[in-house]
Every structure is written in C-alpha cells, then in structure tokens.
Amino acid sequence: MKKTQLLNSELSLVISKMGHTDMLAIGDCGLPIPDETKRIDLALIKDLPTFMDTMKAILLELEVEEVILATETKDINPNIFNQIKEEIKDTKVTFISHEELKVKLKECKAVVRTGEQTPYANIILKSGVVF
C-alpha cells in the first residue's frame, strides 16, 4: 500500500510522470476543460472536495516552482487568493487573464476538477525539481 498521503491513483500517476516545468491545473467545477487534456474529476457534490483541500493534497506530492493564476482572482475571489498565497509561500506567481488561463489548460498534463463553487478558484502549478 502507498505510504504517502495522496491516495487518488489517477492523480498520483500524473504527478509521478511529471518532469521539470510540466503543468497541472486545479479548477472549480465550472472550469471548461479542453477535450484533449486529461480530466481528473474529483467533484462529488457542491464544494466537495474544495479547491483548497485539493490543492493542499497535491502540494504534499508535487514540487512546484511557479503558479499561474488569473488576474481576476485577486479582485473577484480575494479569499481564495489569500489562501493560495498562504500555502505557496514564496513560490513565483505569474498572472494572466482568465481567458489565457483557459487556453493554457491545453498544455497541462491534466486538469483536476473539484466541487468548488466560487468564481476564479483555478490555478496552474508548474513542476519544479527536488534537487
């Protein structure tokens, strides 16, 4: 049995295959996921799992060197933005428009869909290296 905390096999597999600068997105339940991008659907019911719980679980396994956020997140969902900043500490943050973020999902190894139902609760995590 797996010893680390992340139990979802699909998510664990994607993370284990990621290399330096590969990207993984986490989104609210309304984020449109491109057909060509792998979807890991964790959504059960409204707000389960939450965006933050999902992001925290992923950060246990994935070394992140940069995060990409929609500029709109700061103003429209400051609660999520502040929680993200608290979790990622000094990790580099790049801001792009929400429309650009949706296009960038095509470059991600996967998009993790949560049950989150607050606007702009979306992030792209860029993989770092552990050495």
* Residue 28 annotated as lining a ligand binding site: yes
Question: CA-to-CA distance for 94 and 80, rounded, in angstroms?
Answer: 16
20 is catalytic: yes
* 13, 17, 20, 100: the active-site residue: 20
Q: What is the residue-wise DSSP string for 36-86?
A: TSEEEE---BTTBS-HHHHHHHHHHH--EEEEEEETHHHHH-HHHHHHHHH
Distances (CA, A) of 96 to 33, 83, 86, 117: 17, 19, 20, 21
98 is in an annotated binding site: yes
Q: Say which amino acid occupies 14.
A: V
- Is 122 a known ligand-binding residue? yes
Asked whether residue 121 is marked as a ligand-binding residue, the answer is yes
Distance of alpha carbon 131 from alpha carbon 111, whole angstroms: 26
- Binding site for substrate: which residues? 28, 98, 120-122
- Binding site: which residues? 28, 98, 120-122
Query: Active-site positions?
Result: 20
